[in-house]
Amino acid sequence: MLYGLAYWSEMFAPTTHRLLTGASQITLWQWGLLPGLLTFIAGLIRRGSRRWRGIAVPVIVATTGFAGMVCDLMIVFIFQALYGYVYQHVGLIIAAFMAGLALGGWSATRRALVAGDRRQALVWSEIMFIAYWLILPLVLTALSSSTTTWVVPPVLLLLNTFGGWLVGLQFPLSSQLHLAVRGEPGYTAGVLYAADLAGAFLGAIAVGIALLPVLGTTGTCLFVVILKACSLVLFLTGSNPQTSQTPAIG
């Protein structure tokens, strides 16, 4: 998609052509430099400051929305590349992600975590996110070299389901932790929903135009790892929210 846009913009929008051509030359570490630098600066600013305490949770939700959209679309693209076509399977792929999303939210609320465990649970969910994106390129490489084509669809559906489960797992935890800081349910719902939509919007644009065409599957997965590692570091550098009076959600 990136090179197709660059080709047509060369004739009709030279400025856009230069922008797209420059984007095609950016390496993984250059992509990861900006979130790493922003995390470092934010960590210095918010250290010991209560007013910045509520920023880390929306950042986690935004990176989760980004990762969830990248996961869903990347599975669609890879399914088409490995299996030859998508067609009706698009519905199954999206349904698998939504099923995982529902299961993740249900499993997080069903545990009814005590206030002191929610922070730790969110940290562990971030670690699982990072592990998932580190393992994902290995599984996809194995699928691409497999001679058994019937294995491809169920494995990709399972990968998408688990990715959706990780996304759904974080929302109840993030909501309760952010609510403990702000104490306003409406504000918490609005901020986290906006953060999720913003992350998903950026992920939908980036994965098809810049990430997959330039970095490939492995590079895209590693970029998501960098994003989630940055959000985890930002969360850990903040002071521990006082969650003793957090109302239960769900």
Residue 187 lies in a domain: yes
Q: What is the rounded distance in angstroms from the CA atom of residue 226 to the CA atom of residue 203?
A: 14
Pull the structure tokens for residue 176.
């309760």
Residue 12 lies in a domain: no
Q: At residue 1, does pLDDT exceed 70?
A: no
Worst-scoring range by mean pLDDT, 34-38, 47-51, 157-161? 47-51
Among residues 199, 157, 218, which one has the least CA distance to residue 69?
Answer: 199
Q: Model-level pTM?
A: 0.83
pLDDT at site 85: 73
Contacts of 33 (CB under 8 A, 6+ apart): none
Pull the structure tokens for residue 81.
């590349």
Pull the structure tokens for residue 158.
């399972």
Residue 16 lies in a domain: no
Q: At residue 42, does pLDDT exceed 60?
A: yes
Q: At residue 3, does pLDDT exceed 70?
A: no
Residue 202 lies in a domain: yes
CATH number for position 162: 1.20.1250.20
CA 81 to chain centre: 22
The tens digit of pLDDT for each residue in 183-197 reads 788 888 899 999 999
Q: What is the rounded distance in angstroms from the CA atom of residue 11 to the CA atom of residue 23?
A: 18
Residue 247 lies in a domain: no
Domain count, the chain: 1
Q: What is the rounded distance in angstroms from the CA atom of residue 26 to the CA atom of residue 24?
A: 6
Among residues 250, 249, 243, 238, which one has the least CA distance to residue 53?
Answer: 238
Pull the structure tokens for residue 161.
């389901």
Residue 73 lies in a domain: yes
Q: What is the rounded distance in angstroms from the CA atom of residue 38 to the CA atom of residue 32?
A: 10
Residue 11 lies in a domain: no
State which amino acid sits at residue 2. Answer: L
Residue 135 lies in a domain: yes
Q: At residue 25, does pLDDT exceed 80?
A: no
Q: What is the rounded distance in angstroms from the CA atom of residue 191 to the CA atom of residue 200?
A: 14
Structural contact between residues 168 and 108, judged by C-beta atoms closer than 8 angstroms: yes
Q: CA geometry: angle at 41 spanning 38 and 42, to 5°?
A: 80
Per-residue confidence at 27, pLDDT binned at 50, 70, 90? confident
Neighbours of 85 (CB within 10 A): 8
State which amino acid sits at residue 109. Answer: T
Give the residue with greater pLDDT, 151 vs 193.
193
pLDDT at site 110: 75
Per-residue confidence at 201, pLDDT binned at 50, 70, 90? very high
> Between helices 56-83 and 89-110, what is the axis angle to 10°?
150
Neighbours of 44 (CB within 10 A): 9
Residue range of the domain that includes 202: 57-236
CA 154 to chain centre: 22
Q: What is the rounded distance in angstroms from the CA atom of residue 214 to the CA atom of residue 23?
A: 8
Q: What is the rounded distance in angstroms from the CA atom of residue 204 to the CA atom of residue 65?
A: 10
State which amino acid sits at residue 211. Answer: L
The tens digit of pLDDT for each residue in 87-117 reads 778 889 999 999 999 999 988 887 655 445 7
